[in-house]
Amino acid sequence: MTNTTFTPRVFSGIKPSGGLQLGNYLGAIKRFVGMQGQMETVYCVVDMHAITVWQDPAELANATREVAAGYLAAGLDPTQSILFNQSQVSAHAELGWIFNCVARVGWMNRMTQFKDKAGENAEKHSLGLYAYPALMAADILLYHATHVPVGEDQKQHVELTRDIAKKFNHDYKVDFFPETTPVIDGPATRVMNLRDGTKKMSKSGESDMERINMTDDADKIAKKFKKAKSDAEPLPETVEGLADRPEARNLIDIYAALNDVTPADVVAEYAGAQWGKFKPALADLAVAKLAPISGEMARLMADPAEIDRILGDGSARAREIAEPILRKTYDIVGMLRS
Ligand code: AMP
Ligand code: TRP
């Protein structure tokens, strides 16, 4: 087998299922912005993934625009990055089918996210929810992406992507798909729920107080941080002092990520402080960083035609990369073209 070198290229995506929350921003979007300009960057709004669970058609298009508005408001520049929505590039679904035939049922059965989401009632969930990691592999490999920035919860799916690439290359005796590296770095790859530091912050928690939505106004952001669960101890002197203090750890990680410093820097600055001092400082920092983004999102959402134009343009550019790779895949597999 030859040793092809692949041009560095970033791919990542976010599902338009409900609004964006702080975990999406710190664990994904902010890091997407950091990689822009360093190599070619392709960022997708993965609407085909969203419908693995029921989405109201009237809301799906709007949720797709809202994720795109979040990308733009946070600093992704459509002239520097390709920004598009998945369903406008049909090659995703086509390569997804090929990968359904490469991935093994045993591999899918090990995906912890499916087990967590489907729980006891797996039989009532869609086949799409079960198969979706193979579609995610197609999203990534359709661009021969070498780097995939994601939150910690997606690590297993990027590892599956590597397994699919390896098995495809092995079965067809080619060196066609790269082994993608997951990029999971910085202090906020797993932002936790503000009411329970052992649960991940997500779009779909029971109470709105558990999460910061990217559309929350300054008053709401401040209120949620001031009411966030902490513990009875003051802030520790060192990060080691955060062990077994999940809520404290989370608030310090959020502060560090928002301010582009390390948790050790935050602990050094606030050593021994009471929560009554730290939480208002965190709330002020969060408002200073997030309010301009939510303001810009609202401005962009007032002109949906412009967002649609950007996504349409990005889709055309995405197709230019994806279609030749799909055609080559079909040739490798032996699909007849006449
Ligand atoms: P999703 O909203 O599930 O489509 O997730 C989109 C991206 O945001 C993925 O890279 C996730 O890993 C990341 N993400 C979602 N929630 C969190 C969280 N609580 N902490 C860190 N990253 C997250
Ligand atoms: N599965 C990811 C999530 O739920 C979203 C996603 C779909 C993705 N395709 C992707 C992330 C490709 C990175 C690369 O968060």
Q: Is 117 a catalytic residue?
A: yes
Distance between CA atoms of residues 205 and 221, nearest Å: 16
Asked if residues 36 and 77 have their Cβ atoms less than 8 Å apart, the reply is: yes
Distance between CA atoms of residues 135 and 296, nearest Å: 32
Chain-centroid distance, C-alpha 153 = 9
Distance between CA atoms of residues 241 and 251, nearest Å: 14
Q: Which of 298, 304, 252, 301 is nearest to 279 (CA)?
A: 252
Per-residue pLDDT reduced to its tens digit, 190-243 = 999 999 999 999 988 789 999 999 999 999 999 999 999 999 999 999 999 999
Distance between CA atoms of residues 13 and 150, nearest Å: 8
Q: Which of 155, 167, 203, 220 is catalytic?
A: 203
Q: How many CB atoms lie within 10 A of CB 338?
A: 2
Distance between CA atoms of residues 290 and 276, nearest Å: 21
pLDDT in the model for residue 115: 85
Whole-number Å distance, alpha carbon 12 to ligand 2 midpoint, is 6
- Ligand 1 site residues (CB inside 6 A) read 14-15, 23-24, 27-28, 150-151, 153-154, 189-191, 200-202
Distance between CA atoms of residues 204 and 169, nearest Å: 38
Per-residue pLDDT reduced to its tens digit, 57-75 = 999 999 999 999 999 999 9
Can you give the pLDDT of all 338 residues of the chain as single tens digits? 445 789 999 999 999 998 999 999 999 999 999 999 999 999 999 999 999 999 999 999 999 999 999 999 999 999 999 999 999 999 999 999 999 999 999 999 999 999 888 887 888 999 999 999 999 999 999 999 999 999 999 999 999 999 999 999 999 999 999 999 999 999 999 999 999 999 999 988 789 999 999 999 999 999 999 999 999 999 999 999 999 999 999 999 999 999 999 999 999 999 999 999 999 999 999 999 999 999 999 999 999 999 999 999 999 999 999 999 999 999 999 999 99
pLDDT in the model for residue 137: 98
Dihedral sign (CA 143, 147, 149, 150): positive
Tell me the residue type at 67: V
Closest Cα to atom 8, ligand 1: which residue? 24
pLDDT in the model for residue 1: 47
pLDDT in the model for residue 121: 83
To test the pocket of ligand 2, the residue of 9, 10, 15, 20 to mutate (highest count of ligand atoms within 8 Å of its CB) is 15
pLDDT in the model for residue 3: 56
Helices (H) and strands (E) in the chain, counts: 14, 5
To test the pocket of ligand 2, the residue of 26, 99, 154 to mutate (highest count of ligand atoms within 8 Å of its CB) is 154
**E strand segments, 25-74:** 40-45
Whole-number Å distance, alpha carbon 263 to ligand 2 midpoint, is 27
Tell me the residue type at 25: Y
154 lines ligand 2 (CB under 6 A): yes
Distance between CA atoms of residues 288 and 282, nearest Å: 10
Provide CB contacts within 8 A for 106, sequence distance 6+: none
Predicted TM-score (pTM) of the model is: 0.96
pLDDT in the model for residue 204: 81
Residue with tokens 């080619």: 174
Q: Is 203 a catalytic residue?
A: yes
pLDDT in the model for residue 280: 96
Going along the chain from its start, the domains and CATH numbers come out as 9-183+303-333 (3.40.50.620), 208-299 (1.10.240.10)
Question: For the residues of 151-204, what is the DSSP string, one character each?
Answer: -GGGHHHHHHHHHHHHHHHHHTT---S--PEEE--STTSSPBPSS-TTSB--TT
Angstrom distances, CA of residue 81 to CA of 32, 137, 315, 319: 10, 20, 12, 14
